[in-house]
Amino acid sequence: MEVNTTQKMDEVNDKTKYWETRLKEMGYRLSGPRRIILSKLSENREYLSADDIYMMVKKENPNIGIATVYRTLELLTRLDLICKISLGSYRSFYMLSENCKKEATNYLICNKCGRIITNNKCLDSNIRIRLKEDAEKNIFKNCRIKIDNYQIFFTGLCDKCA
């Protein structure tokens, strides 16, 4: 138990140091809102909306306003510390860059609540691999485009909304 707590503390410290260094390299410092947003995103493996992030930030520091959250999200996206996907013209979702580069090749989007589920377990890995390979071959055959990455969006109703 104690080991786990110490390990977790070490992880948090390592991450904080990493963000601090990255921001410093680009001429920025790790301000309070930046640190809170990055740590909230690092605790979540799913894409979060700006509103979700704002609610989490507010719990930790009620003095941080929504405008600061939006501004910080834009900055962190520009600096490539977080990645952003936009659905339609009005909703944007965010994830820590190291997480979205590692996973997330398929997104399941709920039409009702707008939740995005990026859990790769929802689709068996053999189907995922076959889908990718078939698409790769077919796209190359038809259009001579060699793809190196792909994203698939499925829409429907999530377990809570169904």
Q: What residues line the site for Zn ion (CB under 5 A)?
A: 110, 112-113, 115, 158, 161
Question: 3-state class of 86 per DSSP?
Answer: strand
Q: Looking at the DSSP assignment, which residues form a beta bridge with residue 93? A: 49, 85
- Please state the closest distance from residue 55 (CB atom) to Zn ion, in A: 17
CB 73 within 8 A of CB 84: yes
Q: Looking at the DSSP assignment, which residues form a beta bridge with residue 92? A: 86
Q: Which is nearer to Zn ion, 66 or 158 (CB)?
A: 158
Q: Which two tokens stand for residue 62?
A: 């009620």
Q: Which is nearer to Zn ion, 22 or 45 (CB)?
A: 45
- Please state the closest distance from residue 162 (CB atom) to Zn ion, in A: 8
27: left (phi over 0), alpha (psi -120 to 50) or beta: left
- Please state the closest distance from residue 11 (CB atom) to Zn ion, in A: 31
Q: Which is nearer to Zn ion, 19 or 93 (CB)?
A: 93
- Please state the closest distance from residue 135 (CB atom) to Zn ion, in A: 27
Regarding beta strands 106-110 and 152-156, do their DSSP bridges make them parallel or antiparallel, or are they unpaired? parallel
Q: Which is nearer to Zn ion, 112 or 137 (CB)?
A: 112
